[in-house]
Amino acid sequence: MSAVTSAHDEHDDHGPKKGFMRWLTTTNHKDIGTMYLVFALVMFFVGGAMALVIRAELFEPGLQFVNPQFFNSMTTMHALIMIFGAVMPAFAGFANWMIPMMIGAPDMALPRMNNMSFWLLVAGGVLLFSTLFMEGGAPAAGWTMYPPLVLQTGNSLPFAIFSIHLLGVSSIMAAINIVATIFNMRAPGMGLMKMPMFVWTWLITGFLLIAVMPVFAGAVTMLLTDRFFETSFFDAAGGGDPVLYQHIFWFFGHPEVYILILPTFGLASTIIPVFARKPLFGYHSMVYATIVIAFLSFVVWAHHMFTVGMPIAGELFFMYATMLVAVPTGVKVFNWIATMWKGAMTFETPMLFTVAFVVLFTLGGFSGLMLAIAPADFQYHDSYFIVAHFHYVLVPGTVFMIIAGTYYWLPKWTGHRYNEKLAKVHFWMSTISVNVLFFPQHFLGLAGMPRRIPDYAVQFAEFNMISSVGGFLFGFSQLIFLYIIIKTIRGGEKATGEVWEGAKKHGLEWTLPSPVPYHTFETPPKIK
């Protein structure tokens, strides 16, 4: 495939290979983008099913369905699959599909590596999933895999660690590819400060990934040698320190959560201007805010460890640094609202999800600010309050924007308009149920319910029941999403090239026909 030369006319549309070999050997950024998105969607439902096992068990006090060990496996695997299987691949899919088209490039800079990074992701995902069937069960020490507990894992530990290595290699390759593409493949005239915000946020995300994935790989490798080769990095009896792992893990882990949110910011900054029919407010401050957030992400990691017993100077430093994150994040939210201000807004589904994102993500931001206050965190820490917090930023935050991005670009990818009415049903169902699901968890945490427990005291019964009802509603609402996507791929009202009124002004991708031809921008477009 990659041997295909480009000595053809601009609109000459090469057909891809037929059958399975097309997907196995493809180096086309659109094919690879599609595969990433399909993989992410499948994992979204797999991880979601695990979440429903958790919510079913927590529906009422007492153990009804699973034993505590399997329950812990579910919380662990749910998180790993959602983070590494669903959210990160979804963003890699968007990046693959859209970044070349947004910057006027014919493809990604490193197309063969692109193929490899996707298939390594599949290998890592399958390996991780297979641990469920191993003796001793899947990893059950939480997605953070703190030693010494994680070292008690059964046979699955080395497999889980190897799958993390594979997923890490895959992410690093994807990140290198994206950074290389953005730096080298922009159409003439597209300076860095003319790039769309989605491209900017992914550029910074790429650097974060390259910086921290090796750190994570190092941490889990030390687990491996502690377990099998008699090192004692994390064992006090041999001169090590279990808390060292936490420092290394969160040095990766905090930038990681921004890896999950920065492309989300980019999507919101892309979608709001189109539906407000206005340019993005404060483009420059958006770029700077993103860079500042990325920088801060490296110096706030220990706020995940306020209760671990740090020296007072450490507690105070990490409290102040964490509170600072609110400033650039606030700038972003204010900019989005200023973009809506005095626009001529319409509320098609992508915009609806984006508005819900702005409100609900900010709510998660508020609880984040509360968690930053170290003395108060001594109460919130490891309670359901933190569970509510990070699910607010990740579900109506990140996942909502992935859904918004899908609705936004689906007509461009497939050439068909999706069913707007049904999509709005999907929006309202999701938005209402996500709040029924996660809002009561704030109350549970404040009232004293710890996270990661399969059973609870009876004073937590009411809100757990409400939360579980919300969970099942939210889960099943996503079947509407699946239905809409399949239906739109198969057919429907033809979409124009521009798709959204006036979208041409907002991005190069809307100057192309819908569906996009297999090869685009073989000669670079002119940027004014």
Partner 1 sequence: MIKIMLGDFSVKKTKQIFAHLFLMLLGVGEANAEYALNMPRGVTRISNDVYDLHMLILWICVVIGVLVFGVMFYSIYYHRKSVGHEAEQFHDNVKVELLWTVIPTIILVAMAIPATKTMLEMDDVNEPDITIKITGWQWKWEYDYLDSGVHFFSSLDAESNQARQLNSGVEAADVDNYLLNVDNPLVIPVNKKIRFLLTAADVLHAWWVPEFGWKKDNVPGFINDAWVSVQKPGIYRGQCAELCGKDHGYMPIVVIAKEQAEYEQWLEEKKAQALAEASSADRQWSQAELMAKGAEVYQANCASCHMADGQGVPGTFPALAGSSIVTGAMDGEVAMVLNGRGMMPAFGAMLNASDLAAVISFTRNGLSNKVGDSVQPLIIKPMLAAMTQPEEDDDW
**Identity of the residue, 2 or 459, whose beta carbon is nearer to partner 1 in the bound complex:** 459
- Measured CA distances, 283 to 1, 257, 273, 327, 500 (Å): 39, 23, 11, 16, 21
Among residues 330, 475, 492, 515, the one that binds partner 1 under rule CB under 8 A? 330
Which of 186, 227, 254, 381 is labelled catalytic? 254
Q: Name the H helices within 373-521.
A: 374-380, 384-393, 400-414, 420-447, 461-490
Among residues 344, 476, 493, 494, the one that binds partner 1 under rule CB under 8 A? 344
Cα–Cα distance between 279 and 373 in angstroms, integer? 36
Among residues 84, 251, 281, 474, the one that binds partner 1 under rule CB under 8 A? 281
Which of 170, 264, 290, 467 is labelled catalytic? 170
**Binding-site string for partner 1 from residue 77 to residue 116, where x marks contact by CB under 8 A and - marks none:** ----------------------------------------
Among residues 135, 188, 486, 490, the one that binds partner 1 under rule CB under 8 A? 135
Nearest to 204 by CA among 367, 317, 91: 91
Residue 362 appears among annotated catalytic residues: no
How many C-beta atoms surround the C-beta of residue 152 within 10 A?
Answer: 12
**Identity of the residue, 142 or 525, whose beta carbon is nearer to partner 1 in the bound complex:** 142
| 189 is an interface residue for partner 1 by CB under 8 A | no
Return the structure tokens found at 451.
Answer: 């996270």
3-state class (DSSP) for residue 416: strand
| 479 is an interface residue for partner 1 by CB under 8 A | no
Residues with Cβ < 8 Å from 488, sequence gap 6 or more? 410, 411, 414, 416, 417, 418, 419
| 381 is an interface residue for partner 1 by CB under 8 A | yes
Residue 254 appears among annotated catalytic residues: yes
| 236 is an interface residue for partner 1 by CB under 8 A | yes
| 359 is an interface residue for partner 1 by CB under 8 A | yes
Cα–Cα distance between 451 and 463 in angstroms, integer? 14
For residue 28, the minimal CB distance to partner 1 (Å) is: 35
For residue 332, the minimal CB distance to partner 1 (Å) is: 10
Residue 170 appears among annotated catalytic residues: yes
Q: In this chain, which stretch among 86-94, 221-229, 293-301, 334-342 interacts with partner 1, using CB under 8 A?
A: 334-342
Which of 29, 30, 227, 304 is labelled catalytic? 304
**Identity of the residue, 207 or 334, whose beta carbon is nearer to partner 1 in the bound complex:** 334
Cα–Cα distance between 169 and 121 in angstroms, integer? 8
Q: In this chain, which stretch among 85-93, 182-190, 372-380, 519-527 interacts with partner 1, using CB under 8 A?
A: 372-380
Residue 73 appears among annotated catalytic residues: no
Cα–Cα distance between 515 and 344 in angstroms, integer? 27
**Identity of the residue, 22 or 504, whose beta carbon is nearer to partner 1 in the bound complex:** 504
Residue 277 appears among annotated catalytic residues: no
Cα–Cα distance between 42 and 89 in angstroms, integer? 11
Which of 78, 227, 278, 416 is labelled catalytic? 78
Nearest to 394 by CA among 19, 33, 47, 29: 47
Query: Are 398 and 87 contacting, i.e. CB atoms less than 8 angstroms apart?
Result: yes
- Measured CA distances, 26 to 4, 15, 181, 243, 456 (Å): 12, 12, 18, 44, 50
Which of 131, 264, 269, 339 is labelled catalytic? 269
**Binding-site string for partner 1 from residue 402 to residue 441, where x marks contact by CB under 8 A and - marks none:** --------------------------------------x-
Residue 22 appears among annotated catalytic residues: no
Residue 29 appears among annotated catalytic residues: no
- The angle at the Cα of 211, spanning 144 to 73, to the nearest 5 degrees, equals 15
| 355 is an interface residue for partner 1 by CB under 8 A | yes
Among residues 16, 42, 123, 136, the one that binds partner 1 under rule CB under 8 A? 136
**Identity of the residue, 113 or 432, whose beta carbon is nearer to partner 1 in the bound complex:** 432
Q: DSSP label at 145?
A: T
Sign for the CA dihedral angle at 226, 228, 230, 236 comes to positive
Among residues 291, 446, 489, 527, the one that binds partner 1 under rule CB under 8 A? 446
| 72 is an interface residue for partner 1 by CB under 8 A | yes
| 223 is an interface residue for partner 1 by CB under 8 A | no
- Count of alpha carbons within 13 angstroms of residue 387, beta-carbon side: 25
Cα–Cα distance between 391 and 253 in angstroms, integer? 16
Which region, left, alpha or beta, applies to residue 488 given φ > 0 means left and ψ of -120 to 50 means alpha? alpha
Q: Encode burial over 468-507: b for 16+ CB neighbours within 10 A, e otherwise.
A: bbbbbbbbebbebbeebbeebeeebeebebbbbeebeebb
Question: Where in 10-69 is the site for partner 1 (CB under 8 A)?
Answer: 60-64, 66-69
For residue 420, the minimal CB distance to partner 1 (Å) is: 15
Question: Where in 238-267 is the site for partner 1 (CB under 8 A)?
Answer: 241-243
Residue 417 appears among annotated catalytic residues: no
Residues paired with 494 in a beta bridge = 416
Among residues 141, 169, 268, 410, the one that binds partner 1 under rule CB under 8 A? 141
Residue 477 appears among annotated catalytic residues: no
Phi, psi dihedral angles at 7 (to 5 degrees): -80, 50
- Measured CA distances, 413 to 499, 508, 513 (Å): 11, 14, 10
Cα–Cα distance between 79 and 87 in angstroms, integer? 11
**Identity of the residue, 210 or 333, whose beta carbon is nearer to partner 1 in the bound complex:** 333
Q: In this chain, which stretch among 6-14, 220-228, 369-377, 487-495 interacts with partner 1, using CB under 8 A?
A: 369-377
| 487 is an interface residue for partner 1 by CB under 8 A | no
**Identity of the residue, 452 or 487, whose beta carbon is nearer to partner 1 in the bound complex:** 452
Residues with Cβ < 8 Å from 3, sequence gap 6 or more? none
Question: Where in 447-476 is the site for partner 1 (CB under 8 A)?
Answer: 447-448, 450, 452-463, 465-466, 469
Catalytic residues: 78, 107, 143, 170-171, 254, 256, 258, 269, 303-304, 329, 332, 451
